[in-house]
Structure 1
């Protein structure tokens, strides 16, 4: 029996509004990859293709995390050889799920990338699993469905909170508040009882899965695994 296929989406954005380096956040790729790579075939894409930028602060913060350090040592090709998102348009039927890795980068490019928005719509309307963690839900903000409604409208969703952004010292560096924008799209925003707590939300009949923060990275991998029956 062949493995299901999952599409991971990474940002191509290298810097924040103030010039600080950014990109995708290490455990938010490493942990789901650790859970899903044994049971699924994984394709990794980004807006530009090629090497997707790793947020250097995440590599430093998680240098003692075994799963993250093993990923960097053994699986660097995963993020250094991404395919352009545009090359996957029309191919949602080949995958069981699409997953947006977090980091501040997605707030800049994935929230407005036309190919990414079209691809998510494809997945959603084909009944595929759509998932995102931390700032990854930025890639879902502007996705509209055939009826013109936002994908997130009326759905319970989580993502990096205003409180966590403030505690991270990034509230003045980001282009917008992810929590506020999720609410503006009609999402029913929820979060963990305490900042940095693990929180994964499953909505849209099991087809929409979101995680709040880095601490939710392993759990969202497990949730995706359950959702695709792997």
Structure 2
């Protein structure tokens, strides 16, 4: 059975606002079920291990999806989420897909995580597909190739845009703007209209712009791994 590793943020505070944040439910749940239904074994990890925090905004009625409800109702999935592995302890050698969901928490701990950077670099070198959606591409900023070049350099890449960050009123709250930093590391940033599905695959790198893009990222990851999704 092929194996996918999903890595979540452990950061629970939205900068200096005191408000809670974490991972975004839709961006975990939709890819989780698309991969699982396609026959993939899934391991969940987070930067610190244990139960990662969820962004409360992703639990609101207007953010709710059937995939999230299915996840909440699935005891094995919820148990797996409550006991994630610590990134530093994960052996990525058996994984053919590594996926980074978003949520604003990712902006603080993923780019600063040396263990995550090392894991992504190892996964890339062995030919695994690396995917990320919304703010998840912040984790790609931690990764360097053996040459020292940023992993995203020269690659087509998407992520939460400056205009979307402005629309949610967090431009001055986040530690950096993801679109700007992907460009600063040499990524060939591409985007679609705000809040519309937009995902791109560039070889083994698959990225998406926002929560609406998470399912398409999962389908593109399966294609890139040579394993078509189930209908």
TM-score between the two structures when normalised by the length of structure 2: 0.93
Show the counterpart of 2:31.
32
Show the counterpart of 1:208.
205
Q: What secondary structure, in the 3-state scheme, does the structure 1 residue paired with 2:142 have?
A: coil
Show the counterpart of 1:11.
9
Given that residues 31 and 67 in structure 1 are in contact (C-alpha distance below 8 angstroms), is that contact kept between their aligned partners in structure 2?
Answer: yes
Q: 5 Å matches for 1:46-61? A: 46-61=46-61
Give the superposition deviation at 1:61.
Answer: 4.4
Out of 85, 107, 115, which is 2:87 matched to?
85
Given that residues 62 and 69 in structure 1 are in contact (C-alpha distance below 8 angstroms), is that contact kept between their aligned partners in structure 2?
Answer: no
Give the superposition deviation at 1:92.
Answer: 2.5
Give the superposition deviation at 1:128.
Answer: 1.0
Given that residues 133 and 208 in structure 2 are in contact (C-alpha distance below 8 angstroms), is that contact kept between their aligned partners in structure 1?
Answer: yes
Distance 1:86 1:111 in 2: 14
Distance 1:70 1:62 in 2: 16
Distance 1:13 1:40 in 2: 27
Out of 216, 226, 229, which is 2:226 matched to?
229
Give the superposition deviation at 1:225.
Answer: 1.5
CA distance 1:36–1:173, shift in 2 (3 Å): same
CA distance 1:133–1:186, shift in 2 (3 Å): same
Distance 1:44 1:8 in 2: 5
Distance 1:189 1:95 in 2: 26
Q: What secondary structure, in the 3-state scheme, does the structure 2 residue paired with 1:159 have?
A: coil
Q: Is residue 198 from structure 1 mapped to residue 207 from structure 2 by the alignment?
A: no
Given that residues 164 and 195 in structure 2 are in contact (C-alpha distance below 8 angstroms), is that contact kept between their aligned partners in structure 1?
Answer: yes
Given that residues 27 and 62 in structure 1 are in contact (C-alpha distance below 8 angstroms), is that contact kept between their aligned partners in structure 2?
Answer: no
Alpha-carbon displacement from aligned partner over 1:189-226 (angstroms, at most 9, x marks no partner)? 1001x1011111111xx200001000001111111121
Q: What secondary structure, in the 3-state scheme, does the structure 2 residue paired with 1:43 have?
A: strand
Given that residues 62 and 68 in structure 1 are in contact (C-alpha distance below 8 angstroms), is that contact kept between their aligned partners in structure 2?
Answer: no
Q: 5 Å matches for 1:16-165? A: 16-17=14-15, 18-38=17-37, 39-62=39-62, 64-74=64-74, 75-88=77-90, 91-165=91-165
- Segments of 5+ residues of structure 1 without an aligned counterpart are none
Show the counterpart of 1:218.
215
Q: What secondary structure, in the 3-state scheme, does the structure 2 residue paired with 1:151 have?
A: coil
Given that residues 92 and 126 in structure 1 are in contact (C-alpha distance below 8 angstroms), is that contact kept between their aligned partners in structure 2?
Answer: no
Distance 2:179 2:204 in 1: 21
Give the superposition deviation at 1:64.
Answer: 4.2
Distance 1:13 1:61 in 2: 23
Q: What secondary structure, in the 3-state scheme, does the structure 2 residue paired with 1:8 have?
A: strand
Once superposed, which parts of structure 1, at least 4 consecutive aligned residues long, lie more than 6 Å away? none
Give the superposition deviation at 1:158.
Answer: 0.3
